[in-house]
């Protein structure tokens, strides 16, 4: 069983594509996925926290829901879904709160993005939220016009989260250094960009996010093949990514079945790296029972 998704270009408006649209939501009706019962890697604790915190901070930065309300919704979704999920995964034992367990991370990332998606369905532009040091412990928040309006929020949120994760991988997070590659010059050929993505994915695999993560089928755009050597459009081209046994495999299927934003943290980081390297990129995603595949197009 597999599902195919498409995402918006990095520097253009979201567009429809296939049975999925550019808001990272499914237009069709995929079924709820089966639990992942094959062994997956143990996640690095700090790495897992970096991924989840980056999305949380991205939500907070865009001011479309009070964060105290977001936390309540997140808790309620976790409580309502957790028992059924653990029964699905039986006889495996899942300790609640253990982010190093891929089965728990799969669930909690599903709950996070499910909460995000519900909030994006009815985003607010002005609201009050809890503030411990404020008068009456409330403050009024007005969303900045720079966010681009409600329709732009899904794409903007993915970029914000990707930028925060990439910055953590590049500059370090809570005393941990990850050794991420810096952005490349805008003139870098697609082969070098793909090599940079492979370096990023190597971090994901080494920290337990996937059993393996590989870039393949790197090719310059046909229209540019004859001039790439002269630097006319060196970055244009395509490449593929395959993540074996990722820690988001079940969650991605569950989110897709609910037409929700996907927990594709690796894709968010890939897009951030390519954008900071001067590229506009889009991709299609296919989920199977054991892997996630992406086909990237750089223009």
Under 8 Å between Cβ of 164 and 58: yes
Burial string for 47-65 (b: 16+ CB within 10 Å, else e) reads bbbbbbbbbbebbbebbbb
pLDDT on residue 10: 34
Tokens representing residue 294 in the block? 């992406």
pLDDT on residue 147: 77
pLDDT on residue 214: 98
Chain centroid to CA 259: 15
Q: What does the DSSP assignment read for 115-167?
A: HHHHHHHS--SEEEEE-TTSGGGEEEEE--GGG--GGGHHHHHHHHHHHHHHH
pLDDT on residue 186: 87
pLDDT on residue 223: 63
Helix (H) or strand (E) holding 249: helix 249-257
pLDDT tens profile 92-119: 889 999 999 999 999 999 999 999 999 9
Under 8 Å between Cβ of 7 and 155: no
Chunked into runs of 10 residues, the chain (299 residues) has average pLDDT values of 47 27 43 89 98 97 92 95 93 93 98 96 81 75 80 94 98 95 93 97 98 96 54 77 98 94 97 94 93 94
């Amino acid at each position: 069983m597999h599902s195919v998704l498409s995402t918006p270009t990095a520097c253009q408006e979201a567009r429809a594509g296939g049975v999925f649209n550019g808001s990272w939501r499914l237009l069709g009706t995929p079924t709820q996925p089966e639990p992942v019962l094959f062994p997956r890697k143990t996640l690095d604790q700090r790495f897992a926290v970096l991924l989840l915190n980056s999305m949380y901070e991205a939500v907070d930065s865009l001011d479309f829901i009070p964060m105290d309300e977001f936390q309540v919704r997140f808790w309620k979704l976790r409580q309502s879904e957790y028992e059924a999920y653990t029964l699905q995964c039986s006889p495996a034992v899942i300790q609640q709160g253990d982010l190093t367990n891929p089965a728990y991370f799969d669930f909690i990332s599903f709950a996070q993005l499910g909460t995000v998606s519900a909030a994006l369905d009815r985003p607010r532009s002005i609201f009050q939220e809890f503030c411990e040091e404020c008068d009456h412990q409330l403050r009024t928040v007005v969303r900045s016009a720079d966010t681009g309006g409600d329709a732009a929020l899904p794409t903007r949120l993915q970029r914000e989260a990707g930028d925060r994760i990439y910055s953590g991988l590049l500059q370090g997070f809570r005393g941990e250094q990850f050794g991420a590659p810096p952005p490349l010059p805008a003139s870098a050929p697609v082969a070098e960009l793909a090599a940079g993505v492979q370096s990023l994915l190597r971090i994901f695999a080494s920290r337990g996010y996937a059993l393996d993560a590989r870039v393949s089928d790197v090719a310059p755009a046909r229209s540019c093949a004859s001039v790439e050597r002269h630097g006319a459009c060196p970055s244009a081209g395509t490449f593929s990514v395959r993540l074996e046994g990722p820690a988001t495999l079940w969650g991605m299927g569950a989110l897709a079945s609910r037409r929700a934003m996907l927990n594709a943290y690796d894709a968010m980081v890939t897009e951030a790296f390519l954008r900071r390297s001067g590229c506009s990129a889009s991709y299609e995603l296919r989920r199977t029972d054991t892997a996630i595949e992406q086909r990237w197009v750089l223009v």
